[in-house]
């Protein structure tokens, strides 16, 4: 976490977002993702964002997008609003950026716009914790960290990064988002977790899908997709940046 996280969504945010769809990346709040921007329409998006609120909203393309990529392929309904916290243009007109996830949101409607990139109206999906679940929150946090420790390499489990997760006493909602992003879960499962604002349900779902990783099994259930790949143990923690 850092100053970008505490900044949050601007007070004058009106629900309108610029969409950056990708087929293999689910951004979560409270994490940072590197992106390489090169398509003209997304260079346009980046220019507008940097000249205004620095916001960019990551959306997941639904399988079958390949046939409609230059048009408007279907998107998962839950997205993550992020803030551009670093921008490095290249000599050939491309851009390397760092995006910090801020808030999960639900697409209410996609807008008919004249811009080269897609835009939508969204509703913020704030976390909420059921009162009965909150009473044992410390035990749940410890259980999740123990499970996560068992699926990452030993050197990563002994790293300062993991130690910080133990000592910062992060709220369980934030912790589930960080681990959902870092764990090598199938993309449809990550999207399922992004779409759940109830911290209790998100925690239970994450724990359920972390177990097959420990046991070496497969779990392919998801709501927005009919395809997934077998989960593997995350080799690197923190996970590597995306090349997209």
Which tens digits make up the pLDDT trace of 83-140? 999 999 999 999 999 999 999 999 999 999 999 999 999 999 999 999 999 889 989 9
pLDDT of residue 151: 77
pLDDT of residue 241: 41
**Is residue 90 a contact partner of residue 96, using CB atoms and an 8 Å limit?**
yes
Nearest to 55 by CA among 27, 92, 25, 23: 27
Other Cβ atoms closer than 10 A to 71: 8
**Is residue 31 a contact partner of residue 85, using CB atoms and an 8 Å limit?**
no
pLDDT of residue 218: 41
pLDDT of residue 99: 97
The pair phi, psi for residue 240, each rounded to 5°, is -70, 155
pLDDT of residue 14: 95
Rg of the chain over Cα atoms, rounded to whole angstroms, equals 18
For residue 161, is pLDDT > 80? no
Look-up: residue for tokens 């909203």? 57
pLDDT in tens, 15-59: 999 999 999 899 999 999 999 999 999 999 999 999 999 999 999
Q: Name the average pLDDT for the chain.
A: 83
């Amino acid at each position: 976490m850092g100053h970008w996280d505490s900044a949050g969504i601007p007070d004058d945010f009106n629900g309108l977002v610029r969409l950056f769809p990708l087929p293999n990346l689910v951004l979560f709040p409270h994490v940072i993702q590197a992106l390489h921007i090169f398509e003209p329409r997304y260079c346009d998006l980046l220019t507008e964002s940097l000249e205004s609120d620095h916001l960019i909203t990551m959306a997941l393309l639904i399988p079958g997008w390949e046939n409609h990529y230059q048009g408007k392929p279907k998107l998962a309904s839950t997205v993550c609003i992020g803030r551009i916290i670093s921008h490095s243009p290249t000599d050939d007109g491309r851009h390397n950026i760092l995006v910090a996830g801020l808030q999960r949101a639900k697409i209410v409607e996609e807008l008919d716009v004249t811009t080269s990139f897609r835009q939508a109206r969204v509703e913020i999906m704030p976390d909420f914790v059921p009162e009965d679940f909150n009473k044992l929150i410390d035990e749940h946090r410890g259980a999740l960290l123990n499970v996560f420790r068992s699926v990452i390499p030993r050197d990563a489990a002994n790293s300062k990064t993991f130690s910080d997760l133990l000592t910062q006493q992060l709220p369980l909602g934030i912790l589930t988002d960080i681990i959902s992003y870092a764990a090598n879960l199938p993309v449809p499962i990550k999207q399922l977790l992004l779409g759940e604002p109830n911290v209790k349900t998100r925690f239970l779902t994450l724990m359920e899908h972390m177990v097959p990783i420990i046991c070496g099994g497969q779990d392919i259930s998801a709501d927005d997709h009919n395809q997934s790949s077998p989960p593997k143990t995350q080799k690197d923690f923190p996970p590597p940046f995306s090349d997209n």
